[in-house]
Homo-oligomer: A and B are copies of this chain.
């Protein structure tokens, strides 16, 4: 038998002030409304109302996973090092995971995701193509030792994820499994009433081949994505531009080295060029080739340099660089790096020295050299001459210099053409709420997950991995659905559908509210009943702060046989006869 949630006894204390450490609205409101409390940086406790919202989201996820044919299992959070060592992730994660030793000095981690142990369990149980396809998932607590836990539940160190994994015998199967999860995600986010976009994502970090992210557009989001009006959408790390088509260089004058005193920056070089070597139309930053020296740090800690030539009017985007050179970390070259490479003249670096190629794995410097896709064959540049205070003009790609390949790591700008030709790109920020990955065979190979195929031959299984941030979703819904008075929960996950306020001191008001609550529950509604000894003002403010979709106020109107009904989302308020209040509510909820 259901019972209303009584505010007189509910473990709840609302706050009138924003918590000092909260930056974003969802964090402020979830704390103020008594849904969560901080226990440590990035680590939260769930109070009764918060736990209800989280549980309702989990229930929606479970239903949609079942509909997608995925079976629920549950793995430990505390796991031994060995499987993660086998796939290289023990090292790759660096400081981002919590590591510990048990009393016997064995290494453990608090798992950030579970590809390895899911794979091992399938290997333990299954042996034949007949056992596949298989889709299994868990809703489980994950850990990540974030450098900067922030924004409340949006970037925590202990958080709940739904992580699903698919196992197939072939690529077509993986494609089907991937699509089933992707469809389930769309259903989940729609049931939560979320505004979201699906963007192409960088699959490299997980070693996979195809990947998409579900992002909720939000100013406070940590992901930047691009989209065109004709439907292209990608995480900024995942945008890949095609190399520009070759241009005719037959009219380009021969490359010439000139003194260029005091021109270590693009701006000084452009000014110098326009003054000392003027041409029709002048020179701009886009005519210069900036050669950026980066240090790549491998998961094993090995440091090596690469140089990337980008048009002088663009900066390198750190996240795109990390994605491109994954699994390496990418750092700016240090003074020490320059000291170790005597040939590099800071501020005057260029692909050639004299008439010979200087940058490149096989050239004098031995430093791998890549160019931005905008550096077309036949295009001519002003760039460094590898001598102090000297630059070279009209250095032409393909004629005067070459590169080891392309590196597409420059910043993307609003107005850049979409790679698929669907028009100019716009940039936006978003919060990642889901991620689907075609992992392929990387994990299965590392862990030797093979099954017998129809011909009795051992074949490596192909996998997908699919994550939804459950606790993050609580915050994302709060972020998308609130106003300055408080939270506004969609019915699908509200702690209760109806919030009844006894506004008055008379016993009869409380009796009416109680009666209404039990009638509402008989109709199948979940109910919060504010039966506290508090002023109507306090109760009204708390009702708006707590954010149930519907409020009924039993107050002075009762003398005329009326109650007041509020719809939290629209702000609409109207009087209704007590005896028809629930019928009216039922009609409006449809």
Contact = CB atoms under 8 A, between A and B. Distances in A.
B46 A73 contact: yes
A145 interface: yes
Contacts of A34: 125
A39 B141 contact: no
Kindly report how many copies of this chain are found in the complex they form together: 2
Interface string A94-128: 01001110110000101000000100010011100
B141 A77 contact: yes
A8 to B, nearest CB: 10
Contacts of A74: 45-46, 51, 54
Interface residues of A, number: 51
Contacts of A54: 74
A-side interface mostly:
mixed
A76 B40 contact: yes
A54 B79 CA distance: 20
Interface string A417-457: 00000000000000000000000000000000000000000
Contacts of A9: 69
Contacts of A121: 37, 45, 47
Interface string A2-24: 01000001111100000000000
A43 interface: yes
A117 B78 contact: no
Interface string A58-94: 0000000010010111111111100000000000000
A13 B80 CA distance: 24
A158 B78 CA distance: 7
A63 B34 CA distance: 23
A43 B11 contact: no
A98 B95 contact: no
A582 B78 CA distance: 45
A37 B75 CA distance: 9
Contacts of A566: none
A110 B110 CA distance: 10
A378 interface: no
A157 interface: yes
Interface string A285-327: 0000000000000000000000000000000000000000000
A193 interface: no
A510 interface: no
Contacts of A558: none
Contacts of A76: 39-40, 43-45, 158
Interface string A123-139: 01110000000101000
A79 B13 contact: no
Contacts of A37: 121, 124
A73 B100 contact: no
A214 to B, nearest CB: 25
A78 B43 contact: yes
B126 A13 contact: yes
B95 A103 contact: yes
A10 B48 CA distance: 34
A339 interface: no
25 contacts: A3-B66, A10-B71, A11-B71, A11-B134, A12-B125, A37-B121, A40-B76, A40-B79, A43-B76, A45-B74, A45-B75, A45-B117, A45-B121, A46-B73, A47-B73, A48-B71, A48-B72, A51-B73, A51-B74, A54-B74, A77-B141, A78-B110, A78-B157, A78-B158, A98-B108
Interface of A: 3, 9-13, 34, 37, 39-40, 43-48, 51, 54, 66, 69, 71-80, 95, 98-100, 102-103, 108, 110, 117, 121, 124-126, 134, 136, 141, 143, 145, 147, 157-158
